[in-house]
Amino acid sequence: MTLVEAIATFFGLICVWLTVKQNIWCWPTGIAQVTLYIFVFYDARLYSDMILHIIYVIINVYGWYHWLYGNKEKEELKVSLVGKWIWMWLVVCFLGTLAWGYVMATYTNAALPYFDSFITAASLIAQWLMARKIVESWWFWIVVDIVAVGVYFVKGLYITTGLYAVFLVMATMGYFEWRRAYRATV
């Protein structure tokens, strides 16, 4: 464990807790977390995760704006469902995992390229759906967290393994809280 990993873990816990509570401060806290994890994953040779966290910086800025002004009336965004489009996102996740996994396995010395690629593909979808305040984003996060716990443990990132185990619990809580919030609006 490095000091950078420990600080990133701290910001990650705060970020996800704030996200579960639909608190707008999740976004700047998330930007701090993902920026630090760019360096952690580079050192661990988890290049897909590193690239994912670079993209997260952009999605976090988008999510911050979208949560504040994302609906047609430029008001705070409310929780919604993705509905039947969930199948499209599942196919995109599967194809993205295969394509990116092949690239990582063929052209880099990436550790666990297909597992790492799944984490990347599913996390991008989850983060995009979360930026749009869609309940099903938590489904993706739950599966990502399960896979990530195994990958990070195998790579010796024990603090990050613990973080993702906590994320798994928080993602489950987030799903139920957001589902309850959605039901209160319909």
The predicted-structure confidence for 42-80, as pLDDT tens digits, reads as follows 998 888 789 989 999 999 999 999 888 876 666 778 899
The predicted-structure confidence for 12-25, as pLDDT tens digits, reads as follows 999 999 999 999 99
Return the closest-CA partner of residue 44 out of 136, 160, 133: 160
Query: For residue 85, what are its two tokens?
Result: 């489009």
Provide the residue range defining the domain that includes 30. Answer: 3-185
The predicted-structure confidence for 99-145, as pLDDT tens digits, reads as follows 999 999 999 998 899 999 999 999 999 999 999 999 999 999 999 99
Cα separations (Å) of 11 from 8, 29, 86, 129, 138? 5, 6, 29, 21, 19
Q: Name 112's Cβ contacts closer than 8 Å, sequence gap at least 6.
A: 46, 151, 154, 155
| Mean pLDDT of all residues in 139-153 | 97
What is the number of structural domains in the chain?
1
